Every structure is written in C-alpha cells, then in structure tokens.
Amino acid sequence: MTDLSERQQLSYIAGQAADARLNVELETEGMTLNIGPQHPATHGTLRIIVRLDGEQVVWAEPSCGYMHRGYEKLTEVRTYPQVTTLVNRIDWLGSFANEVPFILAAEKLMEIEAPPRAQWIRTILFELSRIANISLFLGDLGVQLGAVTPAFFAFRDREHVLNLIESVTGGRFHPNFDRIGGLKDDLPKGFVDETRRVMRKMRTYCDEIDDLLIGNEIFQARTRGVGIIPKDVALQYGLSGANLRASGVDWDLRRDQVVPMAWDDVDFKVWTHPDGDSFARCWVRLQETREATKIVDQLLDGLPAGPVMAKVPRIIKVPAGEAWVSTENPLGEMGYYVVSKGDLGPFRVKIRSASFNNISVAPWVLRGVYVPDVITILASLYFILGDIDR
Amino acid sequence: MGLVDRGRMPGAIEKLMNLGRSYSMWVYQWGLACCAIEMGAAFASPRYDVMRLGVIPLPASPRQADLVVVSGTVTDKMAPAVLRLYDQMPEPKYVISMGSCANCGGPYWDSYSVTKGVDQLIPVDIYVPGCPPRPEALLEGIVLLQQRIKHEDMAAKWRGETTEPLRREPIVVGGGNVA
Amino acid sequence: MTDTTEAEPQALPGDGLREGLVDELRRRLGEALVATELRPNDDLWVRIDTASWREAGEALAAMGFEYFCYLSAIDWMPSPYGRGEDDPTEPPPERTTEVVQGVTGGATRFQLLARVTDTRRHVGITLKSDVPDDDPTMPSWSAVYAGANWHERETHEMFGIGFAGHPDLRNMYLPTEFEGYPLRKDFPLLARMVKPWPGIVDVEPMPADEAVPTESPDVEHAETDSTAVAAAAAAEPDTSEPGDAST
C-alpha cells in the first residue's frame, strides 16, 4: 500500500493534469457522461453528471432531487405521532432507526423518558435495522462490481432479520412502532430465542461475505487505494458513520454521547480504519454488522422487566422549546432539530440526514478517478436516496 | 403470423400465444423509493423468487421489457424520465404500479414536489396497494396480470382496437375500485 | 485543519467545558456574540451577529470544531394557513402574525441555524444568526467548511436566503422553473388548499359495517395507556374540529 497522503496527492495531480489537458486543445475532446437518474447501480434515483477526459473524470456533479418529497415542510402540517410515520421512510432500509432520534427529541422537550425496558427494546430494534440495512449494502456491493451472488445471499439472510422486526412491530420495514414515551407493544413470545438464532446466522453471513467479497482479490484490487478521503476532508464535509470511521476518526455517537438508550450498558468496539479508501469503508461496515449482532446478544441477556410505556397524555402536545437529538444510524449521524411552539405538531423540524453530507463529498472525491471507479466509490460511500433528498 | 396481420386469429392459436406471452414476461424494475427494496426482495431473493412465475427480471434496457413495475414515489422532477422510459418500451406493454406513492401519492399526498400517482403519466394495469406492499402482494399482482393476458384478444390489439374492457379496466390487488 | 492549543481534549463533556467554550468564543468574537444559552450537560446555543457569521465559523473551526453537521434556516413567522386543516368552504380563521423567535432570541423573521461538532471533546454547538429582512443575504461558509456548500444551496432553495461568496447557488432539489420557496411559512401546500383535509372527516365506516353508526376510535381502543397512544397515532380525528362526515 502506498502512503495515504502520497496517493491522495497523486490523484490530485492526476485531476489537475486532466483539467489542464482539457484546456489545451491538443487533446481529445472531453465527453460528458450522464449516469442515472434511473440506473441499477445507484441506490435509487441519483443522477451523476461526469465530465470525462478519456477514461478519467475531470469533474463530477451529483444531481439530487429526484426523490425530494418535502419532509421538512410536511412535518409542519403533521402531528407528532404522524411525523413518525413520515420519517420512517427517509432511510428506507433502516426505518426504525429513523424514528428514534425524533422521538427522543420530542421526549426531551416534554421532559419524559421511556421506561428502561422500552429503551432496551428500542436499542435492540435499532441494531436489528442496522443489520438489515448493512447486510443489504454488503450484498449490493458485489452487484456494483459485477458479482451477483452476494446479493442473493444478502436477500436470503436479510429476510430473517426482517421476520424478527415484523414479529415485534407488524411491519417488515416501516414499523412505525416508536411512541412518545415508549413503545407500542412489548416483545412477542419466543422473540429472544429466535433472535439469538438469527444473530448466529447473521454472523455466519458476515463470514461468508468476508470470504466471498471482502477477501476477494478482485474486490481488493478495485477498492484498495481508490477514492481516498483523508480525515480533515471527511470532517469538513460532515461525513459520518462508517465513512468517517474509515478515515480514521474514532467517533461513534452510540458511545460518545448520552442519550436514553441502552448502548451504555453494553460492551462493543468501535471499528476504525486508517486508510480512508473504498475498501476501508466496506470493511468497517462489515465489522460493524458483526458488532451489532453482538450488541443485540448482550441486550437480550440483560433485558429488564417492566412496562414499555411511560405515562403520557392522551393527546400529545409538546411544550414550546427547541431540541437537537442525533443518533448513530446505519448510514451515519441522523439528527432532528425540533422547534415546538406548544402545538400538536412541530413548528419546524430540521432533518439532518447522513447521506446528504456523505454524498456531498462526491464532487471532491471523484475528481481524477476512472469511470469504473465512480461506481465503486459511490457504492462504498453508501447512500440511500431518501436520505439524501428527504 | 399472416393471420394476425389480417386481424383474424383462430382461437386455439390465440390461446397458445397468450399462454406463451404471459409466462415469458421480461420485467423492467423501476426502483424509485422504499418499495424498490420490497420489489428487490420479490425479484432477487430466493424466498419469493419471481422467476417461478415465468417472469424474468433485470433486462438490460426498457426496450427489451414487456412489463414495468413502478415502485416508489414519482416526483415532479422524475416524471419526465418515467415518461421517456415508458415510451421506449415496445408494445404490448403493461404497467404495475406498486405502493401507495405510485398509486396516488401516498403519505406525500400534500407535498409540493410529488406527483400524485403515476397514472397521471402512464396507463396502469395493476395497482398494488400498501406502504410498502409485501412481496407477496406484488407477486399476486403479477399473477393477476398473467390471467388478464391469457384472455386478451390479440387480433383486436393488432388492429389497434385497444378498447377491450379487460385491457382498460385496471385491477387492484386485494380488491376495491379505482376512484 | 490543525489542532490549536485551545482545543486540548478534555476527559468528559460537562458544564465546565461548555462554559469554557462560551468564554473562548467571547474572547475571539467579542461583541459579535450576541446571546448564548447553555443547558448544563446537554447543549449550547449561541447567536452570532449577522456581519460576523463567517468569522464565527472560522473561529469555531480553529477551536477544534472541525465536524460540520448541518446548516439550515428557520422562518419564525407563524403560518398564515395554520396547519393546513381549514375547510376550504369556510372563511379562514383569524391567526396571529406575531413573529416570536426561540432560544437565544432574535429580531428578524428568518434565522440561520447551523451546528458544528468537536469530535474529540464530543461537544456540539448550535449557532443562530439573524438574516436581514430587507436583503436576506448572509456571508457564505463554503470556504470555511466545504460541506456547507450543499447545505447553503439547499437553504437558498428552500428559504430564498442568498449567500455572498457561494460558488454556485443552483437549485438542489426542485426543477429550475419551480416558483416559490417551499419552507417559507407563507408557501401554501396546494393539495391542502383545494380539498378538505381528510382528518376533518370523521372515520369512514368499514364496508361491512355501513349500517352501524360510526364509533369514535377513542372508545374502541382506549383500554390501556399504551394502546391509547397507539390509537392516537393511528387515527387523528381528535386533533381537529369534528367536521361534516359527508364531505
């Protein structure tokens, strides 16, 4: 492996050189390539316009908005319980995780806290949605590199996790299960044993992906040293989650902030990787999935008894005030800035979604790379369109 | 098929051809939003496995597809692209609208940027309600479409008479009417 | 960006840490730090003078707040359409038009809202700044935090706030020909204007129970606390005026 900064410099120089060549009219004429908005290799409807010199990208610009559904405006005309239904659908692979920070923000304003059992179940479901989310990412990663098999593995094993979520919430992936003050319901009978079994299965799946994909020579050749994002750039663009940790920043909101969830009570490792390239991002995600299965196992061991719902008024009015709560969602930091005026619904909700920041680095990181790498870099940044456009 | 050209078709041959058509559909997947993942589960996962119904997902281009599943929210910005991709598909073509967003706007019925239903852009044959519908619901939609294709009058279609009641009246999975 | 001596990592976030941050900011910005609000062990808000918005960003970046979280704005004017639940056949009700700002106060209708975080000390700051009413233009942060580029584009598109020094304020989400600024409170949601909000209609009877008079969902589900809240989330008629069931 070449040194990180050296590689970064090289790609920078390559980008500059490509730019210069375009200006000098001796070279071939540049070409503008449009990828998307409907393209099987993008997770949804992202459109990317790249300017090419030969095979090399001199300029790239993601064009968002094909999935802009106006969440922030719609929250202003919804009541608090209705907002949960909406925000479920932002990051549609990890739906339950989207509800949690909003509910926590509303609870913070109301100065109530969910009972311990509810907090634990919330954390379990949160981690289950992380596993469901990232396991699909790992499978999809192969498809983007031309290996179709991992996707079938992913869809096969993800079903087990979805079954678990469905057994608790009744929804495969838009649970709408979180309530202000707790949860709608308790865990069903047999959930604990079944979850343990599935967690073992998911660890096997991670091993399979490790063998099949991450350890694959072709995969490594195509991702190592490609799309390097150094630490300071990652921070400046507000990259979060695995993308930030893959650039060597040891920061995980589960560990590094105090929220009324059960992460403080379990033991887990925050994985980081110093390289900051596409491989590091994929590798960190794989490790995180493993870690999440262990978190779930630990939470099942210590599940406290008691009610799952605090005393809350029949009709929820949130006192006037402002609160910011963010959590470490599968894609990164997801936060809500909730402004209340004491009404039935929020006055303003700023939704800080992880993918918007994560993909905003694309124009920077895509400069100077080759066309096939565009797809792998975007895949490794891992975005979900609902999470970019909101 | 000179017979078809002249607008006549013996019943037995028509039956045979319709049977063949209904069990060899190439479906173009139009993953737009959340429903795309359920569609992916229906098409790519071993648990639901759409191919056992004789439907082949993942053609290289809409020009090779017989059926399109519009799954997810169609926004006003996306609408021209949806229309263009539909125009690229060869006749006969069928459309399944999957999920509440594609049916009518769904939870975004009052949004400023969402098209309230893909049927404003392209004719829809099957509506699959749900937010998102389960993969089974999509499979049922496909089965219902195959049943409809089996009863189609190919000759009339060839003559350009698209007024057959079966073709025009959309089906809603799980019952109900299109308002 | 490099470490400065002021940004020495501390063991635990606490009051002392946030108070120290306020002092540090005051030392760097002086009069430009208009107001602060500190909730011990929770969060910190500061309001920056409009002209010093960019300097505040630079100061924070130098203090170790390298992680750019988000930038957006708030329109403090109450919506003239309320929550969009009026019956279009009735004359609109009287609504207050008084602009009341939130935490750390303010004087203008629009306020910028941003958050930056120090990932080593695990502390974040929410910044606010008044946007002039007559000329809604603010200094751009895109040279301070590269990530602010897209957020400012989004804010420009949604609120119509300009950013001086931003390289490219094209629309991010909406088609170029889109008119209006959706997140301004006086932007109407037309779908809510042309037909009555479904919530003012009482719950429709199920097809089979057409003959049975409609029961209020409160009675059906309010057995325990938790299910009552579930019902509140599932059915919303109690949040609005009971309307005409035939509409």
Query: DSSP readout, C47-60?
Result: EE-GGGHHHHHHHH
Cβ-based contacts of C191 with chain B (< 8 Å): 105, 109-111, 116
Give the per-residue pLDDT at C236.
44
Domain membership of residue A111 as a residue range: 80-354
Cβ-based contacts of C124 with chain A (< 8 Å): 324
Minimal Cα–Cα distance from C87 to chain A, Å? Answer: 14
Instruction: For CA atoms C207, C211, C212, C215, give the dihedral sign.
Output: positive
Kindly determine whether residue A232 and residue C1, on different chains, have CB atoms separated by under 8 Å: yes
Helix, strand, or coil (residue C147): coil
> Which residue in this structure is represented by tokens 């609000």?
C37
Q: Angle at the Cα of A146 (from A142 to A149), degrees rounded to 5? A: 55
Percent of chain B with pLDDT over 70: 86
Rounded distance between C-alpha atoms, residue C123 and residue C126, angstroms: 10
Kindly determine whether residue A85 and residue C233, on different chains, have CB atoms separated by under 8 Å: yes
> Which residue in this structure is represented by tokens 């006749």?
B91
Asked if the bond preceding B92 is cis, omega within 30° of 0, the reply is yes
Kindly determine whether residue A66 and residue B78, on different chains, have CB atoms separated by under 8 Å: yes
Rounded distance between C-alpha atoms, residue A157 and residue A159, angstroms: 5
Q: What is the ipTM of this complex?
A: 0.83
Give the per-residue pLDDT at A195.
92
Q: Hey, of A34, A35, A47, A66, which one would you mutate to test binding to chain B, going by the most B CBs within 10 A of its CB?
A: A66
C206-to-B74, C2, C98, C210, C211 alpha-carbon distances in Å: 30, 65, 43, 6, 10
Give the per-residue pLDDT at C214.
46
Structure tokens at A3: 């040194």
Place A337 in a pLDDT band, splitting at 50, 70 and 90: very high
Give the per-residue pLDDT at C3.
39
Kindly determine whether residue A89 and residue B34, on different chains, have CB atoms separated by under 8 Å: yes
Average pLDDT, chain C: 75
One-letter amino acid identity for C149? N
DSSP annotation string for B18-37: HHHHHTSEEEEEEE-SHHHH
Name the β-bridge partners of A323. Answer: A338
Is the confidence at residue C219, as pLDDT, over 70?
no
Name the β-bridge partners of A339. Answer: A322, A348
**Which CATH number fits the domain that encloses residue A93?**
1.10.645.10
Structure tokens at A164: 């678990």
Rounded distance between C-alpha atoms, residue B154 and residue B168, angstroms: 14
Kindly determine whether residue B112 and residue C190, on different chains, have CB atoms separated by under 8 Å: yes
**Residue of A373, A378, A278 lying closest to A43 (CA atoms):** A378
Residue of A nearest to B74 (CA): A67
A interface with B, Cβ–Cβ below 8 Å: 37-38, 40, 44-45, 65-70, 73-74, 77, 85-86, 89, 92-93, 136, 151-152, 155-156, 158-159, 172-174, 385-386
Give the per-residue pLDDT at B7.
64
Residue of B nearest to C181 (CA): B112
A179-to-B108, C213, C237 alpha-carbon distances in Å: 21, 30, 18
Is the confidence at residue C4, as pLDDT, over 50?
no
Average pLDDT, chain A: 85
Structure tokens at A39: 């393209």
Name the β-bridge partners of A7. Answer: none
Q: Is C38 exposed, middle or buried (0-12, 13-18, 19+ CB in 10 A)?
A: middle
Task: Domains for chain C: give ranges and CATH numbers.
Answer: 16-83+96-194 (3.30.460.80)
Give the per-residue pLDDT at C201.
55
Q: Is residue A273 included in any domain, yes or no?
A: yes
Is the confidence at residue B44, as pLDDT, over 70?
yes
Whether C213 has its CB under 8 Å from any CB of chain B: the answer is no
Structure tokens at B69: 């599943």
Kindly determine whether residue B77 and residue C173, on different chains, have CB atoms separated by under 8 Å: yes
H or E element in which residue C191 lies:
helix C190-194
A287-to-A135, A270, A273 alpha-carbon distances in Å: 11, 9, 11
Rounded distance between C-alpha atoms, residue C241 and residue C247, angstroms: 14
Give the per-residue pLDDT at C142.
86
H or E element in which residue B60 lies:
none
Is the confidence at residue B166, as pLDDT, over 50?
no
A377-to-A1, A28, A223, A225, A370 alpha-carbon distances in Å: 18, 26, 8, 11, 10
Average pLDDT, chain B: 81
Please tell me what DSSP assigns to residue C238: G
C200-to-A74, C88, C187, C196, C241 alpha-carbon distances in Å: 17, 11, 22, 7, 6
Q: Is residue A233 included in any domain, yes or no?
A: yes
Displacement of CA A252 from its chain's centroid (Å): 13
The span from the first CA to the last CA of chain C, in angstroms, equals 61
Structure tokens at B105: 């706007």
Structure tokens at C163: 């950013």
List all chains that touch chain B, counting a touch as 3 or more CB pairs closer than 8 Å: A, C
Residue of A nearest to B59 (CA): A40
Higher local confidence (pLDDT), A260 or C219: A260
Place A137 in a pLDDT band, splitting at 50, 70 and 90: confident
Rounded distance between C-alpha atoms, residue A357 and residue A333, angstroms: 9
List all chains that touch chain A, counting a touch as 3 or more CB pairs closer than 8 Å: B, C
**Residue of A312, A370, A328, A318 lying closest to A349 (CA atoms):** A318
Q: Is residue A239 included in any domain, yes or no?
A: yes
Give the per-residue pLDDT at A29.
67
Q: Hey, of B32, B61, B86, which one would you mutate to test binding to chain A, going by the most A CBs within 10 A of its CB?
A: B32
Kindly determine whether residue A179 and residue C1, on different chains, have CB atoms separated by under 8 Å: no
Place C77 in a pLDDT band, splitting at 50, 70 and 90: confident
Q: Is residue A104 included in any domain, yes or no?
A: yes
Q: Is residue A27 included in any domain, yes or no?
A: no
Give the per-residue pLDDT at B161.
61
Q: Give phi and psi for C67, each to the nearest 5.
A: -85, 115
Q: Is residue A105 included in any domain, yes or no?
A: yes
Give the per-residue pLDDT at C170.
82
Higher local confidence (pLDDT), B169 or C226: B169
- Model confidence pLDDT, tens digit, residues C163-195: 888 888 888 888 878 888 888 888 888 777 777
Helix, strand, or coil (residue C134): coil
Higher local confidence (pLDDT), A340 or A37: A340
Of A37-41, A98-102, A267-271, B148-152, the one with minimum mean pLDDT is A37-41
Is the confidence at residue A203, as pLDDT, over 70?
yes
Residue of B nearest to A92 (CA): B34
Residue of A nearest to C123 (CA): A257
Q: What is the pTM of this model?
A: 0.82
The mean per-residue pLDDT over the stretch A210-218 comes to 86
Percent of chain C with pLDDT over 70: 72
Is the confidence at residue A3, as pLDDT, over 60?
no
One-letter amino acid identity for A78? R
Is the confidence at residue C227, as pLDDT, over 50?
no
The mean per-residue pLDDT over the stretch C94-113 comes to 83
Asked if the bond preceding C205 is cis, omega within 30° of 0, the reply is no
Cβ-based contacts of A243 with chain C (< 8 Å): none
Please tell me what DSSP assigns to residue C173: S
H or E element in which residue A351 lies:
strand A348-352
- Model confidence pLDDT, tens digit, residues B121-164: 888 888 998 888 888 898 999 998 888 888 877 777 666 665 54
The mean per-residue pLDDT over the stretch A360-374 comes to 86
Whether B112 has its CB under 8 Å from any CB of chain C: the answer is yes
The mean per-residue pLDDT over the stretch A236-257 comes to 88
In terms of average pLDDT, the best of A346-360, C5-19, C35-49, C83-97 is A346-360
Number of domains in chain A: 1
Place A4 in a pLDDT band, splitting at 50, 70 and 90: low
Rounded distance between C-alpha atoms, residue C165 and residue C152, angstroms: 11
Structure tokens at A171: 């929804």
Rounded distance between C-alpha atoms, residue C97 and residue C76, angstroms: 10
Cβ-based contacts of C174 with chain A (< 8 Å): 65, 68
The mean per-residue pLDDT over the stretch A348-369 comes to 88
Of A77, A82, A84, the CB nearest to C192: A77
- Model confidence pLDDT, tens digit, residues A66-85: 888 888 888 888 888 888 88
Helix A149-169 and helix B34-44: axis angle, to 10°? Answer: 120
Is the confidence at residue B65, as pLDDT, over 50?
yes
Of A73, A93, A174, the CB nearest to B131: A174
Of B77, B105, B110, the CB nearest to C175: B77
Q: Hey, of C99, C225, C227, which one would you mutate to test binding to chain A, going by the most A CBs within 10 A of its CB?
A: C225
- Model confidence pLDDT, tens digit, residues A377-389: 888 888 888 888 8
Q: Give phi and psi for A158, each to the nearest 5.
A: -65, -30
Give the per-residue pLDDT at A338.
92
Of C147, C183, C222, the CB nearest to A238: C147
Residue of C nearest to A256 (CA): C122
Residue of B nearest to C84 (CA): B110
Whether C192 has its CB under 8 Å from any CB of chain B: the answer is yes
CB atoms within 10 A of CB C209: 10
A89-to-A84, A109, A229, A324, C198 alpha-carbon distances in Å: 9, 23, 29, 20, 21
H or E element in which residue A35 lies:
strand A31-35
Chains B, C: CB contacts within 8 A come to 20
Give the per-residue pLDDT at A293.
92
Q: Angle at the Cα of C198 (from C195 to C204), degrees rounded to 5? A: 130
Kindly determine whether residue C182 and residue B112, on different chains, have CB atoms separated by under 8 Å: yes
Of A17-21, A66-70, A315-319, B20-24, the one with minimum mean pLDDT is A17-21
Give the per-residue pLDDT at A21.
65
Is the confidence at residue C229, as pLDDT, over 70?
no
Of A82, A256, A352, the CB nearest to C122: A256
Rounded distance between C-alpha atoms, residue A296 and residue A125, angstroms: 9
Displacement of CA A337 from its chain's centroid (Å): 19
Give the per-residue pLDDT at C240.
41
Rounded distance between C-alpha atoms, residue B66 and residue B125, angstroms: 12
Rounded distance between C-alpha atoms, residue A12 and residue A17, angstroms: 8
Give the per-residue pLDDT at B5.
64
Residue of A nearest to C186 (CA): A73
Interface list for A 300-319 with C (CB within 8 A): 307-309, 311-312, 314-316
| Residue A299 contacts residue A123 (beta carbons within 8 Å) | yes
Q: Give phi and psi for C120, each to the nearest 5.
A: -90, -35
Give the per-residue pLDDT at B165.
46
The strands making up B126-128's β-sheet, listed across from edge to edge, are B55-57, B25-31, B67-71, B94-98, B126-128, B171-172
HEC letters along B106-170: HHHCCCCCECCCHHHCCCCCEEECCCCCCHHHHHHHHHHHHHHHHCCCHHHHHCCCCCCHHHHCC
Kindly determine whether residue B31 and residue A70, on different chains, have CB atoms separated by under 8 Å: no
Q: Hey, of C177, C189, C193, which one would you mutate to test binding to chain B, going by the most B CBs within 10 A of its CB?
A: C189
